[in-house]
Amino acid sequence: MSALAELGSLGKKSTAGREAGADRGKGAMKQRRPKDNKAAFIFLAPWMVGLVAITVGPMLMSLYLSFTDYNLIQDPNWIGVDNFTRMFGDERFWNSLGVTLTYVVVGVPLQLALALAVALALDKGLKGLAFYRSVFYLPSLLGSSVAVAILWKQMFGTSGLVNQILAFFGIHGPGWISDPSTALGSIILLHVWTFGSPMIIFLAGLRQIPSMYYEAAAVDGAGRATRFFKITLPLLSPIIFFNLVLQIIGAFQSFTQAFIVSGGSGGPSDSTMFFTLYLYQRGFGQFDMGYASAMAWVLVVIVGAFTAINFYASKFWVFYDD
């Protein structure tokens, strides 16, 4: 009995020792843990101030104004959902939405296809790759600028460079900007021309595909088309998805090109009346800021819907390397 009692007392001491050691370990961790995060908050403060003052604050204010009648001079007058219901009968609203959707649906796939084609060509190990990469990326830096939009307007004018080249071959070109049937196409062409940014991302993705896949496919007798559709596209699908989402969001927000090329009027027969351009006209041209704010939130919903659809559809065609 004394032996059993002694073993029991030893077990209790051992348990008490482990608990004391655990308490000492917790105490040491508490001592090592910083007492406050003041330094982190100090460094984050400028970003937090910018987020609230420049992003969140104006967004909440525009949401409030979307339910008001506000002309930038008088105080906002609450009118509920009248601004949103007025959109259903606004023909220019629907026209601007249709023009923007055409611009996105046609321009984004063409831009990505051209960017991928150029990336595939540059991935062959050309001499002076850095130079070509910079040259092809340059339009993306300048494509949204006012200077390039003015240049594009001059090129596609009635007596612009494009028609001068066509006249050299005996072809009488139309006024690309002044013709309703070609005005939007000229702006889409400008968007496609700024393919440098997705091209650089595609090129980086192509460099990450292991060459052993292509070597194994070549040994099995697979041709270039088969290797492209069976190896390159599936392994590059996450990059394609990334570029697709970013370019769709950017295309919906396009404004400078349409404003400069059309002179701010929306082009002939409103053929280049982008959604953002019509929003600008209602807000700063007609001083109907309440209606413009409502249009801005409709655009947010549309962009969010397109993004959600892309994320849902991605599980059917985007393949990730597990």
Mean pLDDT (whole number) for 101-105? 96
pLDDT at 238: 94
pLDDT in tens, 297-308: 999 999 999 999
* Measured CA distances, 7 to 2, 10, 16, 173, 233 (Å): 9, 5, 14, 104, 70
Is it the case that residue 10 has pLDDT exceeding 50?
Answer: no
Q: Which residue segment(s) compose the domain that 103 sits in?
A: 86-317
CATH of the domain at 175: 1.10.3720.10
Q: Which of 7-11, 103-107, 167-171, 244-248 has the lowest mean pLDDT?
A: 7-11
Over residues 132-141, the mean pLDDT reads 69
Q: Is the pLDDT of residue 142 over 80?
A: no
In a domain, 157, yes or no: yes
Question: How many Cβ atoms sit within 10 Å of the Cβ of residue 14?
Answer: 10
The model's confidence at residue 25, banded by pLDDT at 50, 70 and 90, is low
- Count of the separate structural domains present in the chain: 1
**Alpha helix positions (H), 75-231:** 82-87, 91-122, 129-142, 146-155, 161-168, 180-193, 196-207, 211-219, 224-227
Query: pLDDT digits over 175-222, tens only?
Result: 888 888 889 999 999 889 888 889 989 988 998 888 898 889 988 888
Tell me whether residue 76 is in a domain: no
User: Does the predicted TM-score (pTM) go above 0.85?
Assistant: no
Whether 178 is in a domain gets the answer yes
Q: Is residue 49 part of a domain?
A: no
Average pLDDT of the chain is 84
d(CA 109, CA 282): 30
User: What is the pLDDT, as a whole number, of residue 79?
Assistant: 95
For position 140, what pLDDT does the model report? Answer: 65
Q: Which residues contact 111 (CB under 8 A, 6 or more apart)?
A: 191, 192, 194, 195, 198, 247
Q: 19 pLDDT exceeds 60?
A: no
Scored b (16 or more CB within 10 A) or e, 164-178 reads eeeeeeeeebeebbe
What percent of the chain is predicted at pLDDT more than 70? 83
pLDDT at 1: 45
Q: What local confidence, expressed as pLDDT, does residue 125 receive?
A: 66
243 falls within a domain: yes
User: Would you say residue 7 lies in a domain?
Assistant: no
**Would you state the pLDDT for residue 16?**
52
Q: Do the domain assignments include residue 54?
A: no
21, pLDDT greater than 80 = no
pLDDT at 7 over 50: no
Instruction: Identify the CA nearest to 120 among candidates 221, 193, 229.
Output: 229
141 in a structural domain:
yes
| Averaged pLDDT, 162-166 | 87
Separation between Cα atoms, residue 214 and residue 226, nearest integer Å: 10
